[in-house]
């Protein structure tokens, strides 16, 4: 292969397979960890809140249906000084599955709007046609 001996070619293929294998294992471990975190989060959310979240609709904000408004469920709140990390939970009707997005907001803004754990808060989303999901953009 391009002036390489058979042994060199086999070594290159083996090295490439090892690298791809390591990458695949790392991806699987990360995906499993994220899935476990979401399952733990959903276990802490009351069933009636989950049902309420499933009933949320995505209202188009533009003529193309790319920008949408919906409400996300505040699943977890972590305040650190003037910054609050909010873990929002959404429901994807096309995939029949919950998913979460984490964002940061100023603590004064979060408290000023009276938000708390398990509140449904208005969010702006962007529809990704390729993956059929709505990606969180900002709290409105």
pLDDT tens digits, one per residue of 82-98: 889 898 998 888 778 88
- Average pLDDT over all residues of the chain: 83
Question: Looking at residue 7, what is its pLDDT?
Answer: 84
* pLDDT one digit per residue (tens) for the chain, 140 residues: 466 787 888 888 888 888 888 888 787 777 666 556 778 888 888 889 989 989 888 888 877 667 888 889 998 888 888 889 898 998 888 778 888 888 898 989 888 898 988 999 998 888 877 766 777 787 87
Question: Looking at residue 27, what is its pLDDT?
Answer: 78
Task: Report the Cα 33 to chain-centroid distance in Å.
Answer: 13
Question: Looking at residue 94, what is its pLDDT?
Answer: 77
Which run of H or of E encompasses 106? strand 97-106
Question: Looking at residue 97, what is its pLDDT?
Answer: 85
Where along the chain do its domains lie? 1-44, 47-139
CATH architecture entry for 47-139:
Beta Barrel (2.40)
Question: Looking at residue 34, what is its pLDDT?
Answer: 58
Question: Looking at residue 13, what is its pLDDT?
Answer: 87
How distant, in Å, are the alpha carbons of 11, 20, 121 from that of 89? 47, 33, 10
The structure tokens 């995505």 sit at 58
Pairing relation of β-strands 59-60 and 67-80? Answer: antiparallel
As a three-state string, the secondary structure of 48-80 is HHHHHHHCCCCEECCCCCCEEEEEEEEEEEEEE
Question: Looking at residue 2, what is its pLDDT?
Answer: 62
């Amino acid at each position: 292969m391009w002036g390489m001996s058979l042994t060199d070619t086999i070594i290159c293929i083996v090295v490439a397979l090892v690298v791809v294998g390591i990458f695949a294992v790392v991806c699987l471990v990360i995906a499993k960890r994220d899935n476990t975190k979401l399952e733990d989060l959903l276990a802490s959310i009351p069933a009636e809140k989950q049902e309420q979240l499933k009933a949320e609709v995505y209202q188009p904000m533009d003529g193309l249906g790319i920008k949408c408004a919906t409400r996300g469920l505040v699943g977890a709140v972590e305040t650190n000084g003037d910054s609050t990390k909010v873990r929002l939970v959404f429901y994807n009707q096309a995939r029949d599955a919950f998913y979460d997005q984490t964002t940061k907001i100023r603590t004064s803004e979060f408290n000023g709007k009276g938000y708390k754990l398990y509140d449904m808060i208005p969010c702006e989303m962007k529809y990704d046609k390729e993956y059929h999901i709505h990606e969180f953009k900002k709290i409105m």
